[in-house]
């Protein structure tokens, strides 16, 4: 039997979704940045991927080409801790944002929140996730994933800003305050027919193993940096949610509507599941 080619996000928040899959002969698992996972799926280099949610709408041929694995997502209801804007000024005064483009969902979310929550229209610039460099050239910086989770913004001194004056604006919290709904950053999606019911169940069981053992997941991920295990455990337990229930689906559909209205993605159709 040919293994199903899976592409997972390399960040800590994705690890509970893949517990045990690397030893399952039914799957061939690889890790990449979120945007790369989406590109590999679009190119058919992988059969299914843990992709940024916005990329479901950007499937070649339209979103009808993909199916979503039921009841698995990487999301948050409130503060997410790993998707944030950093700025040394009031957000109302931000005129430019340097964006880490590793996840296209976070870029789209930032644009939507700028318009709907912050009421600003900043210039957008792409930049590697280095806060010092980003804030030397822009008023604010979008940083995501492990880099945001581990960044001690209170100790950063950039562009002449007083130490401790950098504000971290959590975009998960901002979204929930705006909409009252969770936000879905990523989910498993694949080509139609790529996953059968047995494979879908295996992905759900992997998620269950990870969600039930956040400390073990954090210990494995930070095996060379044990001082970070407690931080990682709290993050997986308290910030990230791994279900795609009715509330999460409502939040996802609202995000899709807002993205389409802003010209960031095609008009969403009906969500299609395995």
Report pLDDT digits (tens) over 119-136.
999 999 999 989 999 999
Rg over CA atoms, the chain: 18
H helix or E strand, kind and range, residue 170: strand 167-170
* CA atoms within a 13 Å half-sphere pointing along the CA-CB vector of 58: 19
Report pLDDT digits (tens) over 145-201.
999 999 876 556 665 565 558 999 999 999 999 999 999 999 999 999 999 999 999
**44 band by pLDDT with thresholds 50, 70 and 90:** very high
> What 3-state class would DSSP assign to 128?
coil
Residues 6+ apart with CB under 8 A from 93: 139
Q: Judging by beta carbons within 10 Å of its beta carbon (0-12, 13-18, 19+), is residue 2 exposed, middle or buried?
A: exposed
What integer pLDDT is reported at residue 217 of this predicted model?
Answer: 98
Phi, then psi, of 67 in degrees rounded to 5? -125, 145
Q: In angstroms, rounded to a whole number, what is the distance separating the alpha carbons of residues 52 and 5?
A: 17
Report pLDDT digits (tens) over 16-35.
999 999 999 999 999 999 99
Tokens 């293994």 belong to residue: 3
Residues 6+ apart with CB under 8 A from 110: 85, 97, 99, 142, 171
More confident residue, 218 or 129: 218
**Domains along the chain with CATH numbers:** 4-75+182-261 (3.40.190.10), 83-179 (3.40.190.10)
What integer pLDDT is reported at residue 30 of this predicted model?
Answer: 98
What integer pLDDT is reported at residue 103 of this predicted model?
Answer: 77
Q: Cα separations (Å) of 50 from 5, 29, 37, 79, 227?
A: 12, 11, 7, 21, 28
């Amino acid at each position: 039997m040919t293994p199903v080619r899976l592409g997972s996000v390399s960040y800590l928040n994705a690890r509970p979704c893949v517990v045990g899959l690397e030893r399952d002969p039914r799957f061939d698992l690889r890790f990449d940045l979120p945007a790369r996972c989406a590109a590999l799926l679009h190119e058919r280099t992988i059969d299914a991927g843990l992709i940024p949610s916005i990329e479901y709408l950007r499937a070649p041929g339209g979103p009808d080409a993909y199916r979503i694995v039921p009841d698995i997502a990487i999301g948050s209801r409130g503060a997410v801790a790993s998707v944030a804007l950093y700025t040394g000024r009031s957000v109302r005064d931000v005129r430019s944002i340097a964006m880490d483009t590793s996840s296209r969902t976070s870029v789209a979310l930032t644009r939507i929140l700028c318009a709907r929550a912050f009421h600003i229209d900043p210039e957008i610039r792409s930049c590697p996730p280095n806060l010092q460099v980003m804030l030397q050239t822009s008023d604010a910086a979008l940083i995501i994933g492990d880099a945001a989770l581990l960044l001690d913004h209170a100790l950063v001194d950039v562009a002449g800003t007083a130490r401790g004056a950098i504000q971290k604006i959590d975009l998960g919290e901002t979204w929930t305050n705006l909409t009252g709904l969770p936000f879905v950053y990523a989910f498993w999606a694949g080509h139609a027919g790529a996953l059968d019911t047995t494979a879908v169940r295996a992905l759900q069981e992997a998620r269950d193993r990870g969600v039930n053992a956040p400390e073990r997941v954090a210990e494995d991920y930070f095996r060379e940096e044990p001082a970070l295990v407690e931080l990682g455990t709290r993050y997986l337990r308290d910030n990230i949610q791994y279900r795609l229930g009715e509330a999460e689906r409502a939040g996802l559909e609202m995000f899709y509507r807002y993205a389409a209205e802003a010209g960031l993605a095609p008009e969403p159709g009906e969500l299609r599941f395995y």
